[in-house]
Amino acid sequence: MTLAADVAAAEALLYARRCSLPALARLSSLSILEDISVPRKAMAEVVNRIEAIGKKHGLRIGTFGHAGDGNLHPTIVLDKDNPSEVAAAEVALAEIFALPLEFGGSITGEHGVGSAKLPYLEGLIGSTNMQLQRDIKKVFDPAGILNPGRIGS
């Protein structure tokens, strides 16, 4: 990580941050942008581990984020027409989502759980809390017609 020594350096870092996603998106036909959060003191280690996951699976993963709040955006760029890359990305994502739990963080940063992270939610909140979510949904949606296939279904 780099700390800005002055306003000009801070502006240069912010510019690089804003350019990160568009630059990664140009590298291949598909970019999978995720967000996780970890304690700030663990950010460098988690970024290194994400890089190692990418190497292990033969994937290019660029990670950028918000150092002030521990939010990281691992972004996998791959060929959407290459089934082996798509499969490798799915395995890599599971490994990436395990990292914040190891470091006391969350599988979400600023974007919430969503559909893609739903299979990993129980690892974050535990089976008791998952069942509580389902029970609450049943109270308000006994027929199961609201948002089927999502949390609480």
Same domain, 118 and 91: no
Containing structural domain, residue 35: 7-112
- 84 shares a domain with 152: no
Distances (CA, A) of 67 to 41, 44, 109: 10, 10, 12
Whether residue 56 is found in the same domain as residue 85: yes
pTM for the whole structure: 0.83
Considering the domain architecture, whether residues 75 and 20 belong to the same structural domain is answered as yes
Asked whether residue 134 is assigned to any structural domain, the reply reads: yes
Domain count, the chain: 2
Element (H, E) at 73: strand 71-78
Do 13 and 43 belong to one domain?
Answer: yes
User: 43 with 101, same domain?
Assistant: yes
Per-residue pLDDT tens over the stretch 65-114: 988 899 999 999 999 999 999 999 999 999 999 999 999 999 988 887 87
* DSSP code string of 98-112: HHHHHTT-BS-SSS-
Task: Pick the most confident of 54-63, 121-130, 131-140.
Answer: 54-63
Q: Are residues 117 and 95 in the same domain?
A: no
Q: Is 2 within a domain?
A: no
